[in-house]
Amino acid sequence: MIVGVAIKMLFIVLVIMGLFLPLITWVERKQAAVMQDRIGANRADLLGVTAMGLLHPAADVVKLLSKEDMVPSGANRFIHQIAPMVALVPAIITLAVIPFGGVYQFGDATVSLVVADIDWGMLYILAVGSLATYGAVMAGWASNNNWGLLGSIRASAQMISYEVTMGLSIVGLFMCYGTLRLTEMAVAQDSTFRVFGFLEHIFGLSGPWFAWLDWITLPAWGIFLQPLGFILFLTCIMAENKRPPFDAPEGESELVAGYHMEYSAMRFGLFYTAEFLEVPVIGAIVATLFLGGWSIPWLSTADIVGAVGGAFGQGFASGLCMILHVGSFLLKVVLMIWFQMALRWTLPRFRYDQVMDLCWKMILPISIANIFITGALVLWLDG
Amino acid sequence: MMDGALFFYIFAALAVAGALGMVLNFRNAVAGALSLVGTMVSLGAIYVLLDAYLIGVLQVLVYAGAIVVLFLFVVMLLNLRRESFSAERQRAVKLAAAGLGVLVLLAFLSLLPGAFREAAALPEGFGGYRQVGMALFTDWLLAFEATSLLLLAAMVGAVILAKRDIE
Amino acid sequence: MLAEFIGVLLILGLALVVAGLMALAPKLLGPRREFAEKQEPFECGERQIVSPHQRFSVKFYLVAMLFVLFDLEAVFFYPWGALFRELGWFGFAAMGVFTVPLVVGLLYEWRKGALEW
């Protein structure tokens, strides 16, 4: 039991932290170069081999490890030491509740591809996210630096503001799925719905003339059930994690570097890791909530098992499903990473007052309205 | 059940350590407030160990994630020093704190005799969001609606307190 | 009972070990040459002119206060959203009554300029 959990944990942590994380630091540079029509990231070489800049992540690690770790005078040493750890730990432990595959039957054994299948998984993500604020607060306050403190005050005010709207923007999704458990949400998205089903339901339009409408289906993904919720949630989760274009707390033109100003060597590396780790973690959360999690569009688990289960046996069908589903999930995460990187190099940074106005004056009223509109629609269509 | 008790002692020790850290850090209120975060998270874990899952996660979400942030902001933003209060006021606050402490201690002692007894068996799904939510939105509906008036009063109060400085 | 939380505890342990090792590594590997000028907090080449420990704008306090209030509101929405179909129109009306005072509060703040930056 515990071994199985440990294997699943190592798999997801190694894929996200060991594979995606170094690649993202490379993609960030390389995509910037491509989008700005530069050659970019090709200086790190090993015996003349640059491998398109793929050696840069390794060079980063070597450099961060060999630099001096400094604590500024007048700093609160203890809090200054632990702040980077407080920033990184929440980003890692969020991965525990993300289902990267469904539930598979191999003979008598049941394999469920999630580290911790908690009944209130979404609340766990929100609670862990609310603790991430303290990393920024502690770092800025303990550094005894004006820029650091300004950055941390800005960061915390922004993070707490978007935390509220982040929660409210997905209430509509809870209403559609009727659950807070992430594995159940993913299963609910492993199907399709008829786009024009409501015509028949409300106007009684049925019969041969309208039969062709039944062929027009969409996957029952959050993005199609809650398109407004998707935009709101994506905005909020990126702002909550201070990702560009919402990175006013570390706007170098105003604050030099923000709350991690007085950090050097690998303890700066911890902030750096936390920040880049948030990119795939955001991708995984958005993929699970809105992009069907591990599901494959128009090809449900039952379809796959029905097609190959008879000829090759149940075990083979389960294995095939598992591989396809994990691949589908990781592909969606990669898609979200690409999207975040494209945004990062397309949009200029918002001003701080714009960030706060967007939260309190736009997203908060719209997400409350979204909840009640969704509610009325759900009850109406349920009849 | 052995492992449950073990985790209880671990989190209880962390909660007490965090509380002591807050009280003993009287020279540095920010460090004290940060230490309170540890207490709140540990309390959340203890609630989860008691099968009160929703309360446990809300403890972390609301107390550790929201209320302590408010404490921190007030402490950090005001940067009050001991000198900003008159001697009488300091004495009054100390007296009030001591009185409250005695009251809490008495309340705790009065609960103590009934504390050591066998735990009752819990119904299926106890403490999850379904059971708590169903009870909240049917049996305790009036209290739930009244909460929103309380929140409105708090909002108005916050604006009035800060109004002088906004203008 | 604890079965579903084993994963959380394991990943918490792993995260603490990873973060701890990363924080410890530069102490063992990096150089260490301290002197007073270098340890000074960065202030764009100047000595620190004002102490960072000063009063901040009341805006931030107000935002924290509003955050606590709206967070409490949001907390009621989560179980309500998941139970929505069971509660039906009754739950819809109950949450409508709950939300009206909060929307009034939000409009009040908006009008009073508490949301301006």
CATH number for the domain that contains residue C24: 1.20.58.1610
| Subunits with 3+ C-beta pairs closer than 8 A to A | B, C
Which tokens go with B40? 């709140």
Confidence of residue B80 (pLDDT cuts 50, 70, 90): low
User: Which residue in chain B has the smallest CA separation from C103?
Assistant: B152
**Cβ contact A9–C7 (<8 Å):** yes
C117 found inside a domain: no
Per mean pLDDT, which range of A25-39, A92-106, A203-217, C82-96 is the poorest? A203-217
**Cβ contact B69–A123 (<8 Å):** no
What does pLDDT average to over chain A? 84
Distance from CA of A42 to the nearest CA of B (A): 42
pLDDT at C12 over 80: yes
Cβ contacts of C108 on chain B, cutoff 8 Å: 155-156, 159
**Residue, of A274 and A202, whose pLDDT is higher:** A274
pLDDT at A220 over 50: yes
* pLDDT reported for residue A120: 86
H or E segment and range at residue A339: helix A314-344
Confidence of residue B100 (pLDDT cuts 50, 70, 90): very high
Task: Tell whether B81 and B131 lie within a shared domain.
Answer: no
* pLDDT reported for residue B105: 92
Mean pLDDT over B51-64 rounds to 88
Say if the ipTM goes beyond 0.95.
Answer: no
Task: Tell whether B81 and B20 lie within a shared domain.
Answer: yes
- Determine the Cα–Cα distance for residues A336 and A379; give it in Å rounded to an integer: 32
Confidence of residue A48 (pLDDT cuts 50, 70, 90): confident
**Cβ contact B76–A160 (<8 Å):** no
Mean pLDDT over A39-65 rounds to 81
Q: Is A199 on the interface with C (CB under 8 A)?
A: no
Read off the CATH number of the domain in which B53 is found: 1.20.120.1200
Distance from CA of A293 to the nearest CA of C (A): 19
Q: Closest to C78 (Cβ–Cβ): which among A174, A178, A266?
A: A174
**Residue, of A382 and A133, whose pLDDT is higher:** A133
**Residue, of A98 and A54, whose pLDDT is higher:** A98
Q: For chain C, what percent of residues have pLDDT higher than 90?
A: 8
In chain C, the number of structural domains is: 1
Q: Is C117 on the interface with B (CB under 8 A)?
A: no
Confidence of residue C2 (pLDDT cuts 50, 70, 90): low
Q: For chain B, what percent of residues have pLDDT higher than 70?
A: 91
A15: left (phi over 0), alpha (psi -120 to 50) or beta: alpha
* pLDDT reported for residue B13: 92
pLDDT at A140 over 60: yes
* pLDDT reported for residue A205: 66
**Residue, of A83 and B114, whose pLDDT is higher:** A83
Q: Closest to A149 (Cβ–Cβ): which among C39, C52, C64?
A: C52
Distance from CA of A5 to the nearest CA of B (A): 18
Beta strands in chain C (DSSP E): none
State the first-to-last Cα distance of chain C, in angstroms, to the nearest integer: 48
CB within 8 Å of A18: residues ≥ 6 apart: none
pLDDT at B27 over 80: no
Confidence of residue A312 (pLDDT cuts 50, 70, 90): confident
Domain containing residue B163: 125-167
The reported pTM is: 0.89
Confidence of residue A223 (pLDDT cuts 50, 70, 90): confident
* pLDDT reported for residue C1: 52
B117 found inside a domain: no
In chain B, the number of structural domains is: 2
Confidence of residue A368 (pLDDT cuts 50, 70, 90): very high
Task: Tell whether B77 and B135 lie within a shared domain.
Answer: no
C17 found inside a domain: yes
B46 found inside a domain: yes
Q: For chain A, what percent of residues have pLDDT higher than 70?
A: 97
Closest Cα to residue A96, out of A12, A19, A14, A180?
A12
Mean pLDDT over A188-203 rounds to 76
Per mean pLDDT, which range of A76-85, C48-57, C104-113 is the poorest? C48-57
Mean pLDDT over B127-136 rounds to 83
- The DSSP line for A340-377 is HHHHHTTSPPPPHHHHHHIIIIIIHHHHHHHHHHHHHH
User: Which residue in chain A has the smallest CA separation from C53?
Assistant: A144
* pLDDT reported for residue B99: 94
Cβ contacts of C1 on chain B, cutoff 8 Å: 4, 51
Task: Tell whether B76 and B130 lie within a shared domain.
Answer: no
**C35 SS3 class:** coil
Q: For chain C, what percent of residues have pLDDT higher than 70?
A: 97
Confidence of residue A233 (pLDDT cuts 50, 70, 90): very high
pLDDT at B87 over 70: yes
Distance from CA of B135 to the nearest CA of C (A): 11
* pLDDT reported for residue A383: 66
Q: Is C58 on the interface with B (CB under 8 A)?
A: yes
Q: Closest to B156 (Cβ–Cβ): which among C75, C82, C108?
A: C108
What does pLDDT average to over chain B? 83
Mean pLDDT over B26-47 rounds to 86
Confidence of residue A253 (pLDDT cuts 50, 70, 90): confident
Mean pLDDT over A77-99 rounds to 88
Distance from CA of C64 to the nearest CA of A (A): 7
* pLDDT reported for residue A366: 93
Domain containing residue C50: 3-112
| Strand pairing category for A109-112 and A103-106 | antiparallel
Q: Is C71 on the interface with B (CB under 8 A)?
A: yes
B3 found inside a domain: yes
Interface test with A, best of C1, C55, C70, C76 (most A CBs within 10 A): C70
Mean pLDDT over C76-98 rounds to 89
* pLDDT reported for residue B1: 44
Which tokens go with A217? 């289906």
| Dihedral in degrees, nearest 10, Cα atoms A97, B127, B57, C6 | -40
User: Which residue in chain B has the smallest CA separation from A164?
Assistant: B66
| Subunits with 3+ C-beta pairs closer than 8 A to C | A, B
**Residue, of A269 and A42, whose pLDDT is higher:** A269
pLDDT digits (tens, 9 = 90+) for A109-128: 888 888 888 888 899 999 99
B30 found inside a domain: yes
Closest Cα to residue A298, out of A216, A242, A362?
A216
User: Which residue in chain B has the smallest CA separation from C57?
Assistant: B77
B43 found inside a domain: yes
B153 found inside a domain: yes
**Cβ contact C105–B129 (<8 Å):** no
Which tokens go with A175? 């209403």
Q: Closest to A266 (Cβ–Cβ): which among C6, C26, C36?
A: C26
pLDDT at C80 over 60: yes
Mean pLDDT over A333-362 rounds to 88
Closest Cα to residue A380, out of B7, B61, C88, B2?
C88
Contact A113, A294 (CB under 8 A): yes
Q: Closest to B77 (Cβ–Cβ): which among C61, C97, C105?
A: C61
C46 found inside a domain: yes
Confidence of residue A357 (pLDDT cuts 50, 70, 90): confident
Q: Is C110 on the interface with B (CB under 8 A)?
A: no
CB within 8 Å of B11: residues ≥ 6 apart: B42, B43, B45, B46, B49
**Residue, of B4 and A29, whose pLDDT is higher:** A29
**Residue, of A340 and C3, whose pLDDT is higher:** A340
